[in-house]
Amino acid sequence: MALPAWAGNILVVGDSLSAAYGLPTEQGWVNLLEQRLQDKGLDWQVANASISGDTSGGALSRLPSLLERHKPKIVILAIGSNDGLRGLSLAGLKANLNEMIEQAHAHGATVLLPGMAIPPNYGTRYADGFAAIYVQLRQHHQLPEAPLLLERVALDHELMLPDNLHPNAEGQQLLLETLWPALQPLLESF
């Protein structure tokens, strides 16, 4: 089936942070992104393939069919926080993210890899190693700079749901504001 004539597709592969956990879907940052693109007259389509609770391994297993179905020009990989919260192998996380980046590139997509961080309750060595993976992969693959996804909300309880893990509606808006400066130049490069 041929795609309609538009600037392109953006594919978001993430977990509960991008799936608007605990909120109506329209309050999630991915839906807010789609609204912003429409409001600015930017003819991009956004496909949100985020699943609450998903890990990098689960996302990797789904990615080939997502790339075939959506044929994205931009892939936002906002995944990995559940790997960290479950204390999964850092080497496994890095390998999964690396493979996802390579698959997206093989399909001609540009990848945006926002940073992720986890609370230090697993120890600073694990938490620091976890955060470093995103920096290392951006450098290795020469990806655009991207901020820490929860940079503006993680430590502000007013912006989080009662579980203190997921952003509320105001926090979701800030996730978009955090990513927009990294995403906007990519949109303009096509």
- Residue pair 137/114 in contact (Cβ under 8 Å)? The answer is no
Alpha carbon distance 12, 187 (integer Å):
14
Direct distance between the N- and C-terminal alpha carbons of the chain, in angstroms, rounded to an integer? 23
Residue of 82, 105, 74 lying closest to 179 (CA atoms): 74
User: Known catalytic residues?
Assistant: 16, 163, 166
Stated length of the chain: 190
